[in-house]
Structure formats: C-alpha cells, structure tokens
Amino acid sequence: MKRVLLIKILVCLCCLTAMGQTRSDRTFRGTVVDAVNGQGLPGAVIRIQNRDLGAVSDEEGSFILNLEAGSYTLTVDYVGFEQLVRRVDFPRENELVFALQESENALQMVEVVSTGYLELPKERMTGSFSYLDNELVDRRVGNNILDRLEDVTPGLVFNRTGSPQDLLSIRGRNTIFANSQPLIIIDNFPYDGPLENINPNDVESVTVLKDAAAASIWGARAGNGVIVITTKKGGLERPLRVSINTNFTTTQQDDLWYNPIMSTPEFLEVEELLFGRGFYNARESSIDNRALTPYVESMIRHRDGLISDSELGAIRSELGSRDVRHDLSRYYLRPRNLYQIAANIQGGTKSSTYAYSAGYDNNTTGFTHNNEDRITLSAQNTWTGMKGRLKVGTGLYLVRDLRTSGNEGPSQVTFESIDPAYPYARLVDDQGRPQSIIRDYRQGFVNGARDQGLLDWQYIPLEDLGRQREHMESTDIRVNLQTSYNILAGLDAEVQYQYWQNDRDAGTVWDADSYFTRNLINRYTETVGTELVRHIPLGAISNRNNRFSQSHNLRGQLRYRKIIGQVHDINLLGGWEVKDLETRGNSNRFYGYNPNLAMSLPVDYVSRFPMYNNPGQLNTIPHGLAHTDLTDRFVSYYFNGSYLYNERYGLSASMRKDQSNLFGVEANMRGVPLWSVGGSWVLSNEDFLQNQKFNFLKLRSTFGYNGNVDKRLTAEVTSSSIVGGSGTINPGLPYSLIQNPANPMLRWEKTRVTNLGLDFEYGNGRFWGSIDLFDKYGEDLIGDTEMAPSSGVIRFRGNTSTSRSQGIDMVFNTLILDKGLKWTGTLIGNLVREKITGYFFEATVNNYLMHGSGAMGSINAYPLVGRPLYSVYSLPWAGLDPATGDPRGYLDGEPSNNYFGVINNTEVGDMIYHGPARPPVFGALRNDFAVGDFSLSVNISYRLGYFYRRNSVLYNEVLAGRISHSDFSDRWQQPGDELITDVPSIPSAVNISRDNIYRFSEILVERGDHIRLQDVRFSYMLRKSKLPRLPFERAEVYTYANNLGILWKASDDPLDPDFPISRPLRSIAFGIRVDL
Amino acid sequence: MLVGCEGFLDERPDKSIVVPGSIDDLNLMLDNSEVLNFVPSLGVFSSDDIYFPIEAYNSLTNAVERNAYTWQPEIYEGEFPGDWRSCYQIVYFANVVLEKALEFLENEPDNAEIKEIVASAKFFRGLGHYNAVSIFAGQYDPADVEELGIPLKLSQNVLERPVRSTLGESYEQILMDLEDAVSDLPDFSAIKTRPSKYAVYGLLSRIYHSMGNYEMSRFYADSVLTGPYSLMDYNMFNSSILYPFERYNSEVVFHASLVHSATFSRVTTLVDSAMLNKYEDGDLRKSLYFIDRPTGKSFRGQYSGMFRWFGGIALDEMYLNYAEASIRLGQVEEGIEALNELLDHRYMAGTFESYTTESIDDPMSLVVAERRKSLIHRGVNWLDLKRLNREGIYGRVLRRIVDGVEYELLPDDPRYVFPLPMEEVILNNMEQNPR
C-alpha cells in the first residue's frame, strides 16, 4: 500500500476552500472516497473542465463548489489513484460520491518526497531526488539502514577504497578533506547519533536529495547530499494494524586464505637466508631481549653446536608442515549470525494517530566470544484539535545497545607487536591443549624471568581469549515534539523541537591473568638489590571511557499555501532554527583493579622506571587519561518557495544562511548564504501531448549552491596542550602543540550545482523512470598543499582547490510481462566524471604513486589537476634485468636499475595515469518477478571504468623477517626467469626504492571493471483471503541471499577488485513478516 | 532574532583547542621541548664520532643515515629530511609565539613576563636558524660573506616563501636574535629546556667559536664560567649504570637533544676503536662515556639521563672554548689553566698531571684533541671539523671502509655541506648546495 496522506499541507487547502462559503442553492457538494474501503480522501483536486473553477477536498474528503445551473464535466485527481472524469448535472438533491480506484501502474506518481522540511508529491518538485519506498527499504535484510540504499538508489555509491569514514558518495565526491559523508535526517532533524542505532524495521521510506534545489534547504551541510529517513507513522482513521517481522541471517566465516601469502617452507627459507646474512645477530645480542622465532632459535642452537644437522632438519620439516591460519580460523573465527525481531503497531482515530514499535537484534559476530544486542523502542502519536487547526505530534525513541567482546580477531596474535604471528606457530599441542607461542621476548629471557620470580611471561593465545573483555553500552534517547497551528486559510505556524542524548560507557578489562596485564606488570618490575619491586600493582587493568552527548534542535517556521484562481499554486515556507550539540567524555585507566571489590590501586604516573626487559629504557606508567569537550552550534535561517502555474509550469527558490561556532573566532567566516532556483514543466499536462502515450512527462532544471564545513580548521593559529610523556625530557610537564597554522583566508566550501532532469511514464505504466544530468563545481574546497619544510609546516590545509564533476544518473523501469507472470525490470545507471580543476601545489611523484588512489586508507589525499581526486598512477616498467632479476624503470629513456634516479627523474607528467580509483560508471539491474503470491527479485550490480593496484611481494618485509605476498614463489631466481615472471629477485639488502619501482609499476595495475550478482530475494505471501484458516491477515515468508559472487570481471587477478584484503562474505537470511 | 546570539556562537567547538590568547598559552608553546630543544644529528652520522660495522650498516633502515655515513652526494632518497624539518619547526614555533607576544606587548609594553616570552622566542629562532646554517651552509668566512646561506624565516606566515640569504646575512640575523634576547631572560632556569641568560651566552660562545671569532667566543664562554654551574667530578659516578649522568646535571646550561634516531640506541651503533684508544688510562670519560657491546663499544655518556643524545650547552664545552680561544689569542697560560681544571674533573683522582706551558709544545693540538674527547656525540665535532679544515694543520681526512668499498672525505670537500631536501628545490626553487 503506498497511500501517503499529505495532512500537513492539505489541511490548509481544506480551510482555504471552506472559507467564506455559505450554504445556498448554488452549492454543489460532493465527497471523494477510496473505492475499496469507502474512506474519504482529503486533498483530492476537483476541476470543472473548460471553466476556471475547482476545489480541494477536506479532511473527510468532502468539497463544495459554487455553480450555476447546468451540465458540467468534473475531473477528480488524487495522488496514487486513477483520474475520475464524470458528467454532472446541477442543481441536484443529493451529495455525489466520487469513488476513486487506486492506481496500479503509476508508481512514481505516489512518491511523496520529504526534504525534512516539506513533504511534497514529486510532481511539484523541481529538484533531483531518489525515493525508496517501504518495499525497497525492506528488500534487503540486516540491521543497518544505510546498507539498504546500496544498488537501489540512483546516484549513490558505496566506496570500496579509501578510509572507512568515507562510506558512501552521492554523485561523486564533493570535497577533499572536509566531511565527505551525506547529512542524515531522521524525522525532520539531523541525526547526531550512530547510525547503528536506527532499526530499519522502523523506517517507512528514504529520500535522497541530490541537487542544489533538493538539498540547499539544508545549506552548509548539504554539500555531500542529504539522506532523509522517515519513520513509520499511523494514519487517521486507520484500524489497528500489527505487524511482526522476524528473520535470521547467517554470514559465512571469514577466509584467512583469501589473501595469498608466502608458504611456510618459503618463510623458513627466508629465515635461513637472513640468518646466513647475520640479520639476526643484532637482535640476538640486543639488550631488550627482542623475540626471535623458534626456527631462528633452532638455527642459533645449531650454530652453537647444541643440535645436530639432522635435528635441525627434522625441526625444519616439522615446522614446514604447519600453517597458523588453521588454528586461527578454528579458534578465532566463526560464521556470523544475526537474529532480528520487530513488531509494529499502528492505527488512528478520526483525530489522532499512533504508531508503536519494539525491536530486538542479536548479532553473534564473526569473532568468537563477541556478541552484540540491540533493543529499540518507539512511540509516536499525533492529535488534531481545535477543529483541525491545531496539530500536535510527539515521538519517543529509545535504543539500547550492548556489545561485549573477548576476541580482537586473528590480528591480536602478534609477533614483535606489529607483525602477524610467524606462520608455523601452533596454538594447540598434539592433545589439543592451548600452548604458548613466542611474542615479545626470547624464550630464554621468559624462562629466566620466571626463575627470578616475575609473573609467568608466556603468551598462550587461546587461554588469553576472553581475558581481555571489552564492553560498550549505549543508551540513545530521542524525543520529538511537533506542533502546527493553522492561523489563517493557507497559513500555518509550526514549532518543532527535538532533544537527543546518547550515553556511552565503554571499557576494557584485562584480567589479572591476561597476557597484557602480566606483560605490563613485568615490564615495570624493577630489581632493587635482591628484591623485586612492582611499580604496577598486581590485579586486573581496566580502561574506562565514558561519553555523554546531547543536542537540542528548535525550529520555528511559517508555511503558506494558496491556490489562486485554480491555476496559481503558491507554496511558501520560511523559518529559523537553532542547534546545540555537546559532547563530553572522559577516559581513565585503573591498575590493580578488582571488579569484585570495586577497587583499584594508585600508581606513580610521573617517575620513569626501567623496563625489566631492557633496564636501559626508562618509561613512565601509561595512564590513558583523556578528556573530550566538544560543542557544535548552529543558527540558521531558511526560506523555500514554489509556484506552479496551471499544473504545468513550476518555479522554485530556496535560501539558507547558516552560522556556526565551527570556525571559532572569525565572525565574518561564520555565516554563509546558500541558495538555489529551479523550474519545471509538466509537458504531459499540455494539450499537445494529451493524445500521446505519455502518462507523465516532466522536464525540470535547477541551479544553486550547497556548502560544506571542516570544523578542524581555523583562521587563527590554534594550539592544544598535552602532558610530557615517558620519552620526553620533561615527563609530566604540560606543553602545547600547534594544531593549525594561521589562515586568515579560510572560507566555507561551496558546490555550485546545475541539474537538468526528465521524469516520464509511457504507455500506461509499461515504461517509466527518470534521467538527471548534473554539473557540479566545487569552489574553495579545502585542500592540502605540500609545503617545503622551511615554511615551518610540511602540509598546509586551506581553500586551495576547485573541482568539477559531471554526470548522469538514471533509472528506467519497464513492465516486461504482465500476464500471470509479472516481470518488472529496473535499470539504474550512473556516470560520474570527476576531476580536480585547481590545486595549489603539486605533490611528489612518490606521494601520487603511494597515496594517489586513496587505497592505502591514508587520510591524506594527493590530488592532481585534471585528474579525479582518487586516481591510479604508475611508473613505466622496463622489465627485469636479465642478469640479476632486478626490477627496472626508465631513466632518460633507457631501462635502469638506478632506482633512486628513476623515481627522482620521473616528473609528475611522466607517470602513467591509468584512470580513476573509484568507478565512474556503476549501477544495477534489478528484475522483479511475481506469479500469484510468489515473488522473486534478483539484483545484478556493475562497476566499470576504474583501476586498482594488485599486491605483490615486498622485499622490505621479506628482509625484515616478515611474511609477504605469495608472488615470492614466482620471483626471478636465475637468468631466463625474466621471460616467465615479472617478480624481481631477492635483493642483497633492504632497498625501499627498489621495492617501489616494482610495487608502483604499471604491471601491477589492474582494471576493476566487474559485474556482480549482488543479491536474490524470494518470497511467498500467505493471505487469509485465500486460506481462511490462517490466524492472521497475511504473512510474507522470505529468503534473501547477499554477496553471491562475481559474474564477470576484466582482470585475471583472482581477488575481487573491490575486496583486495578480505573476501566479501556471502550471507543468507530467512524470515517471516506477519500482518495480524 | 535571537538576543545573545553572538555569545551562543562564541563557544569554542573543542575545549582542548585554543587560539593562544594568554601568557600561559604562549609559555606552554615555549615548553614544547619536543620541537624546540633540538640540534641537528646529521653531522654525527657524517663525522668520525660514529662507526657502523658492516652488519649494522646494512641494517640501517633510514636511507638518510646510511647515505650521510658514506658521504653520498644525494642523501634523502625521498625519505623524511628530519634535521632540516626540525630547524624550521623551531623557527616556526618561535615566530608564532613572537608575533603573538609582540601583539600583547603593544598593550602592556612594560610587562616583564611578556618581554621574557619575546626574548625566549628570539632565542629559539636564533637556535633554529643556527642549526640550519651549521649543517646546510658552508663554513663562515668573514672574507666571503656572499656565499650561500640559509633561508631566513622571520614571520609565522607559512605561505610566505623564503629565499636563501647569504652566509653573512644568515649569521647576522642569528646573532641579532640572540643578542636581543639576553636582557629580558632570567639568569637561570631550573627547567633547563627553557632559555636563560647563560643559555644565550653559551650558545653565542658556540656560534662565535664555530665562526672563528675567538674574542667573542672567549668572552661569552667566560660569562658562562661565572654562572651558577660547576664541573662534575667524574670520580663520583658509577659506570655500571646505563646512563651515569643525570638530566639537568650541574654542567648543563641549556638542554637540547640531537634530532632523535632509533639508530642511537642500537647496540650495533659503535665508536671506532681508533677513537677509543685516544682516551688514556685513568681518563674516566672512557668508562663513563662508553658501554661494552657484543661487537665493540657504544656511546652512552649523554648529559640527558636518558636515551636521547645531548647536544645542548654544557660547562665542559665552555671550558674548552675558553681554553682554545685563549690559546689562539696568545693567552696560552690562561687557556691551559682552564684545560687543567676541566681535565682534573675528568681523570681518576690523583692520576691527572696538570699541563704547563713548559710541558707542552703544541697547546693547540692538545686542546683540539681534548675537544674531540669531551664533546663526542654532541654534534660539536662536526662544527670543529668544518672550522678546523680551513686551517690546514688541524683538518683531517675522514675515511670509512664499508663492505670493501673505501670512502673518503677530504677537508675541502663540498660534501661538508649537506644538501637541501628536494622539497625546497622543487617547491621553493631554492638553489641546491653543490656536492
């Protein structure tokens, strides 16, 4: 059911038409109702053909027209219903009832989009929106609302490269360093909490605002687009409806073999090579007792004559057969299971509505010992009073989130604190009992320390599981109050207020017997004379981290809607709003913590103590004290107006001025006025198209500005203070750092957007969709510039860049078959061409190669004029040196292994530019099939035209005794190998430039183009109308499978181009939705 | 529309970040010893203070250190130019503080606290620029002041691009900043990362000494010798402790560390045995300065009490400056007397026999040798090498054999001047030093 009542706007309409009317002979009375249930339809438009006369139905669906006696043709239009045309004679005795049939085909006609300020049918809009109705929102299964937008929203893409904060982009990226994420609006206000707190089962619809006209009402925060989420509401005069949705999703276990790495025998070979080169000598004799792997220890014993050749050989072959990933996989990983249940109750009386919901989610994550629980509750009510003039709405939302974990995953099993454990580590012995592995110190030292009376210093990974217990509890409360009062015909005053708070209590307890605790206590143990002095007391260690956030939003606005003479439809909105968001937090660490007695013990944080494992090293005890105190404030003014002439020609304008405390000091920088204008033309209402097959055809265009801020920057020099740490000359003495250099020229970022769009429906619902062309100029974008160090900084951030992106987003729907089998195809297509058009300085070739694609997750981007922000560059490859297997680049046009010379003499223009690192062409093809009560939906997504860099062996890792990529086994080993491989030989010493020549060469760049079978949803509807014995009205049984696999890709690389590190995990869900 | 709106938007977005607006804020910046209290370490890597056996050389992960060690023409290989960066970060901090403090001073021209801040900022700006000129420009020669100097950065505006000044201008600015600073600084500071009058005298002595201006070097060294510092008797120290000397000991006038490198703490970073052999029996510097390692001896005698290598101003350097300057100026007796006093505190009790003008025929060679022995691993050896090379007789040829390849650095070699980082050449069009 896609019936949305436009109460707020339409109430004024009713009042307008009712005003000044008196009952007389000339009064023609009628009622517009839904043909199915006989309910009145408020806001239906009644026109008299060939006359400048009309009316709009009131809340009950009634209307009044003043007519002379005669014969008339009336047309009745209502969003989502078929137009009714009827011949009427007047005067007449009785009231006429106009029963409208719900429209089956004209799907886009019912889309009522919400901008967070206004709810309007799409036909009145000039801007560019993507609208997801409830069916699309519910198509996917899961506990995250944003995931549900993927591959069903034109113009929106989830980014697979870049930092995790850069989750998704709407129409490309519009900023370089400022916040790149869209503004998220829930129930009319920006949402400040974590998105995990939104239960998708509570969401009715989502609207994505894409162009200036759509988003400029949100002003300085709309530069990245706006996602407006509307939760489920009750409806007036609706019977009680109870709906329960429950499902179970299981996601496959993570695959540690996905990323190809060197085999264990190869690793042993490298250790032997390094041992022969004396690489471990320094470590062996180091005073800090740094760890050596078991095989290196064996080689030392062999060298010292403690074991024989054959014993060493036996050890080697034993170790060579092991692979630590088996144990990690078995004890640390598991399939992830998500269980979800949600109940919704909604309905309404003549003057009030209600909607209540409760949801519970349980997620046993992909790591053993970890668990997540979420409870969501909501209650929404509206009341109408004072003869419909006053409307009051309240909303209350409560989310309680609890996460516990005792397993950080396989990466917690480290060797030398940074590297993964050596590949032949075994976490259990032959009897399956947990056993120790080498981690931070040599075994001899660990044993010796035990004899000296220190705590057991062994690291037994499996015993440690669950001894590091993290928890995170959060309570999120949102309270809404909305009132609207109808002052005059067409004029409403509204006040909206929202209070939000989030309490977060997170922490970690390392049990007294955890490795972390034992290690720290031991390190800070000092031998004084013959006595051991523990500077860190025995007992558990606890980190505690509390954060409290709250925000107030207050908005006052006036709305005016008037239809003059049937043809002039005026809609105005103006208001003011103020926001205050505050976040306070504290972090603490407690030593000697005893959770049973609720006590901890004091320690000396100021003195420097010698480390037991390296008495020459003096450190203070880590304290973990930190405080957060943040304030975000906004004061904004906004205006939005639209005018529609004769339902054909529309104009719109909007303006907003935001002032914030973000820039702190410079008053002139606080405010930025942003505006937009737009026009539209509904061609299908023109006479010349009346007889064509276009049911709907509308052309629209907008122009305007959106903004963005970077609150980390300031116009004046700023500093922040810290306390001197362990390694400083003055531990405990506070000092300050310069955060930002002065930048008196700092301004807000602006995006100038032009949009041209076409909405159409052709052939009575056989073909419909929309196409949007956009052209965006980023102005005053905050950009980094590399600075020569003599300036005092090596990087400067300011309004240094400009960018341009052009593109198309489109969606085409066709009803392919409608005979028993109903088959609908939806094609979403997006094209985005982005480039940086101005940037202050050029970075070095090294930076472009290393960070240009953004794939390293670096927070710093290195844009190049004329290229997309994230681009893949490489060095020309001259092949391996046939004599040595050295990689070669080009120096003065000749193959060369003067690596430094090659990189140093490569100009930025000499690099090979492959293309963008993010897909410029993407979209999805969805096919929906329905036969009777069965339906099947299959979504195929595609991403084309982009590039990525494949991983390969890095010898600086290999020669540091660390494991590297499996290409190691394809390396050049003897002359002739250069004909069959591009993988360089092992160098004699670490040479990062040599690694880089290969790593950044063109041969490792691959095309990312691929087509993926994203998901399949299958469902069956049980209906009481067909099975009268059912205890419920209807129930949908569904199953949903996600991440099914790649259908085609351009590259031969066995890895998924969008998932270079870990496998995209398949999942399958089963569920049932019952409507009582 | 909203009364009090201005106050509402004046709230700072993040309490932990301030626009420095008070004396305290500026003092906190001046206390950033993690930026301000450094001197370059490149000279140590290129000098004969340090020795890497082949395995240690091969495991040097920092290309700059490896290349500096073998005097390569190009040293950076795209890696971070730590020393150059440190010099100009000091200058930048100093300029930020200086500009703010001068603003404050306009309102309160007689506020002694603000004047002290101004003086401290000038001290650090002088230090930063001197650090740069000592490593990235040639030896000062009053006859040739038009040689390439360093970029002088005198404003906090990071967008203003400095150009390389002449060597004469560079030294003029450095000396002016330091001489300006003297009057408003306190005589003494217990936290020795903060500048004091004596810190300025000490630094000026070091600078004038390196310029070959021995009158001024002697004058300022003498000023420090009258200060509240005293020579430590090395007999009082225990060589079994890893770092025998405390931070802020009685000889430390001003604390600064060498730009830190992980290489300093490695057990394979050694001192050449030829150098170790220069210490006589009974010379306590040998046991207190050096520690036994599996493959030789490493330096550990820094005046910092921790792993960082000391490069600040200490009394022993002042004694040596005074001694050398006196000898050069013909006051040989006074020079030898100063040397005797220093060495008396360095030798095992009762083993040191004072020198006399009669007992030694070449007091210059003696004082030069003692400078090397006392001031090893402080960056001073590099200054001395550059200075003495000009004189012919005290200059020396540095030689290293690494992996069978012999490297040599002759006294007049242009590689005594380190190259500027590529960024300065590319982004600021600065002229590169010939190497």
List the CATH number of the domain containing A137.
2.170.130.10
pLDDT > 90? residue A358: yes
Query: Do A280 and A243 belong to one domain?
Result: no
- Note whether residue A277 is domain-resident: yes
C-alpha angle B322/B326/B329, rounded to 5°?
A: 140
A661 CB neighbours in chain B (<8 A) are 8-13
Query: Do A150 and A242 belong to one domain?
Result: yes
Query: Do A113 and A77 belong to one domain?
Result: no
The residue from A72, A103, A134 where one domain ends is A103
Interatomic CA distance for residues A262 and A267, integer angstroms: 6
Residues A238-247 have pLDDT tens digits of 888 899 999 9
Query: For residue A61, which of A82, A41, A39 has the smallest C-alpha distance?
Result: A41
Residues B65-79 have pLDDT tens digits of 999 999 999 898 878
Flag if A635 and B9 touch (Cβ within 8 Å): yes
DSSP assignment of A727-759 equals: TSSSTT-EEEEEEE---TT---EEEEEEEEEEE
Mean pLDDT, rounded, for A971-979:
94
Among A395-399, A567-571, A801-805, which stretch is predicted with the lowest mean pLDDT?
A567-571
Give the residue ranges of DSSP H helices in A128-234. 134-137, 212-215
SS3 label, residue A488? strand
Interatomic CA distance for residues A769 and A736, integer angstroms: 58
- Note whether residue A825 is domain-resident: no
Task: Output the CA torsion B324→B325→B331→B335 (10° steps).
Answer: -40
A714 CB neighbours in chain B (<8 A) are 17, 19
**Contact in structure between A677 and A127 (CB atoms under 8 Å):** no
Mean pLDDT, rounded, for A859-871:
85
- Note whether residue A155 is domain-resident: yes
Beta bridge pairs of residue A1013: A940, A1045
How far is CA A909 from each of CA A839, A867, A906, rounded to the nearest angstrom? 15, 12, 8
- Note whether residue A963 is domain-resident: no
Among A509-518, A706-715, A772-781, A844-853, which stretch is predicted with the lowest mean pLDDT?
A706-715
pLDDT > 50? residue A2: no
Interatomic CA distance for residues B71 and B48, integer angstroms: 12
Mean pLDDT, rounded, for B227-253:
93
Flag if B267 and A287 touch (Cβ within 8 Å): yes
- Note whether residue A281 is domain-resident: yes
Q: Which CATH class is domain B23-428?
A: mainly alpha
**Which member of A282, A711, A796 has the closest CB to residue B266?**
A282
How far is CA A379 from each of CA A225, A502, A578, A957, rounded to the nearest angstrom? 29, 18, 25, 57
**Domain locations along chain B:** 23-428
A794 CB neighbours in chain B (<8 A) are 85, 423
**Which member of B11, B18, B55 has the closest CB to residue A631?**
B11
Q: How many CB atoms lie within 10 A of CB B250?
A: 12
Interatomic CA distance for residues A871 and A793, integer angstroms: 26
Residues A614-627 have pLDDT tens digits of 877 788 899 888 89
* Contacts A–B by Cβ distance under 8 A: 216
Flag if B85 and A730 touch (Cβ within 8 Å): no
B84: tokens are: 């150059």
Question: A486 CB near a chain B CB, below 8 Å?
Answer: no
Mean pLDDT, rounded, for B285-308:
91
Q: What percent of chain A has pLDDT over 70?
A: 94
Q: Most confidently modeled of A794-803, B95-104, B152-161? A: B95-104
Looking at the complex, report in whole angstroms how far the Cα of residue A42 sits from the nearest Cα belonging to chain B. Answer: 37
Question: B262 CB near a chain A CB, below 8 Å?
Answer: no
Interatomic CA distance for residues A31 and A10, integer angstroms: 15
Q: What percent of chain A has pLDDT over 90?
A: 53
Per-residue model confidence (pLDDT) at position A798: 84
- Beta carbons within 8 Å of A321's beta carbon, 6+ residues apart: A264
B327 vs A4 pLDDT, higher one: B327
Total tally of structural domains belonging to chain A: 3
pLDDT > 70? residue A30: yes
B146: tokens are: 């038009």
Within A763-910, strands assigned E span: 767-786, 795-819, 821-838, 871-874, 889-891, 894-896
Interatomic CA distance for residues A625 and A545, integer angstroms: 9
pLDDT > 80? residue B407: yes
If 0-12 CB within 10 Å is exposed, 13-18 middle and 19+ buried, where does residue B413 land? middle
Flag if B294 and A285 touch (Cβ within 8 Å): yes
- Beta carbons within 8 Å of B176's beta carbon, 6+ residues apart: none
State the best of B3, B28, B95 to mutate against chain A, taking most chain A CBs within 10 Å.
B28
Residues A872-911 have pLDDT tens digits of 999 999 999 999 999 999 998 899 988 878 887 888 889 9
Flag if A616 and B37 touch (Cβ within 8 Å): no
Query: Do A426 and A281 belong to one domain?
Result: yes
Please name the helix (run of DSSP H) or strand (run of DSSP E) that holds residue A915, with its range, or none: strand A912-916
Per-residue model confidence (pLDDT) at position A787: 86
**Contact in structure between A878 and A896 (CB atoms under 8 Å):** yes
Question: A552 CB near a chain B CB, below 8 Å?
Answer: no
Distance from the Cα of residue B110 to its chain's centroid: 33
Per-residue model confidence (pLDDT) at position A37: 67
Interatomic CA distance for residues B205 and B187, integer angstroms: 16
B306 CB neighbours in chain A (<8 A) are 608, 618, 727, 729
pLDDT bracket for residue A858 (50, 70, 90) = low
pLDDT bracket for residue A663 (50, 70, 90) = low
- Beta carbons within 8 Å of A934's beta carbon, 6+ residues apart: A1018, A1019, A1020, A1021
Looking at the complex, report in whole angstroms how far the Cα of residue A560 sits from the nearest Cα belonging to chain B. Answer: 21
Question: B156 CB near a chain A CB, below 8 Å?
Answer: yes
Residue B263 DSSP one-character state: G
Query: Do A55 and A199 belong to one domain?
Result: no
Please name the helix (run of DSSP H) or strand (run of DSSP E) that holds residue A207, with its range, or none: strand A203-209
Residue A791 C-beta-side C-alpha neighbours within 13 Å: 19
* Single pTM value for the model: 0.81
- Note whether residue A59 is domain-resident: yes
The residue from A51, A80, A103 where one domain ends is A103
Interatomic CA distance for residues A617 and B287, integer angstroms: 20
Interatomic CA distance for residues A964 and A957, integer angstroms: 6
- Note whether residue A50 is domain-resident: yes
Mean pLDDT, rounded, for A130-148:
88
- Beta carbons within 8 Å of B26's beta carbon, 6+ residues apart: B20, B97, B100, B101, B117
Q: Which of residues 907-946 of A touch B (CB under 8 A)?
A: none
Q: Which residues of B119-136 are buried (b: 16+ CB within 10 A; e: fewer)?
A: bbbbbbbbbbbbbbbbbb
Instruction: Determine phi and psi for A727, rounding to 5 degrees.
Output: -90, 5
Mean pLDDT, rounded, for A975-983:
94
A343: tokens are: 């109940």
Query: Do A114 and A91 belong to one domain?
Result: no
pLDDT bracket for residue A1 (50, 70, 90) = very low
Question: B431 CB near a chain A CB, below 8 Å?
Answer: no
Interatomic CA distance for residues A1060 and A1062, integer angstroms: 6
Mean pLDDT, rounded, for A442-468:
93
Query: Do A41 and A139 belong to one domain?
Result: no
pLDDT > 60? residue A12: no
B13 CB neighbours in chain A (<8 A) are 630-632, 661-662, 664, 711
- Beta carbons within 8 Å of A422's beta carbon, 6+ residues apart: A267, A293, A294, A295, A324, A415, A438, A963
Query: Do A215 and A268 belong to one domain?
Result: no
The residue from A36, A68, A103 where one domain ends is A103
Per-residue model confidence (pLDDT) at position A658: 84
pLDDT bracket for residue A4 (50, 70, 90) = very low
pLDDT > 70? residue A8: no
Beta bridge pairs of residue A593: A540
Per-residue model confidence (pLDDT) at position A36: 67
Query: Do A299 and A446 belong to one domain?
Result: yes
Query: Do A219 and A237 belong to one domain?
Result: yes
Among A15-19, A393-397, B101-105, B146-150, which stretch is predicted with the lowest mean pLDDT?
A15-19
Query: Do A182 and A273 belong to one domain?
Result: no
A552: tokens are: 């107030």
Mean pLDDT, rounded, for B266-280:
92
Residue A573 DSSP one-character state: E
Within A220-312, strands assigned E span: 226-231, 241-251
pLDDT > 70? residue B103: yes
Range of the domain at A308: 264-332+408-464
Instruction: Determine phi and psi for B406, rounding to 5 degrees.
Output: -100, 130
B116: left (phi over 0), alpha (psi -120 to 50) or beta: alpha
pLDDT bracket for residue A16 (50, 70, 90) = very low
Query: Do A85 and A150 belong to one domain?
Result: no
**Contact in structure between A660 and A633 (CB atoms under 8 Å):** yes
Among A95-104, A386-395, A861-870, which stretch is predicted with the lowest mean pLDDT?
A95-104
State the best of B61, B66, B77 to mutate against chain A, taking most chain A CBs within 10 Å.
B77
Flag if B18 and A719 touch (Cβ within 8 Å): yes
Say which amino acid occupies A789. Answer: P
- Beta carbons within 8 Å of B76's beta carbon, 6+ residues apart: B63, B64, B67, B419, B421, B422
A928: tokens are: 């929906």
- Given 3-state DSSP classes, what are the helix, strand and coil percentages for chain A, each rounded to the nearest 5? 15, 45, 35
A717 CB neighbours in chain B (<8 A) are 19-20, 96, 100, 156
**Contact in structure between B377 and B309 (CB atoms under 8 Å):** yes
Q: Are strands A934-944 and A1010-1023 parallel, antiparallel or unpaired?
A: antiparallel
Query: For residue B398, which of B120, B384, B62 has the smallest C-alpha distance?
Result: B384
CATH number assigned to the domain comprising residue A58: 2.60.40.1120
B187: tokens are: 């005589």
Question: B81 CB near a chain A CB, below 8 Å?
Answer: yes
Q: Are strands B38-39 and B257-258 parallel, antiparallel or unpaired?
A: parallel
Per-residue model confidence (pLDDT) at position A107: 37
Beta bridge pairs of residue A755: A702, A774
If 0-12 CB within 10 Å is exposed, 13-18 middle and 19+ buried, where does residue A52 land? exposed
B245: left (phi over 0), alpha (psi -120 to 50) or beta: beta
- Note whether residue A614 is domain-resident: no
C-alpha angle A558/A562/A564, rounded to 5°?
A: 155
Residue B183 DSSP one-character state: G
Interatomic CA distance for residues A176 and A870, integer angstroms: 10
Interatomic CA distance for residues A64 and A466, integer angstroms: 73
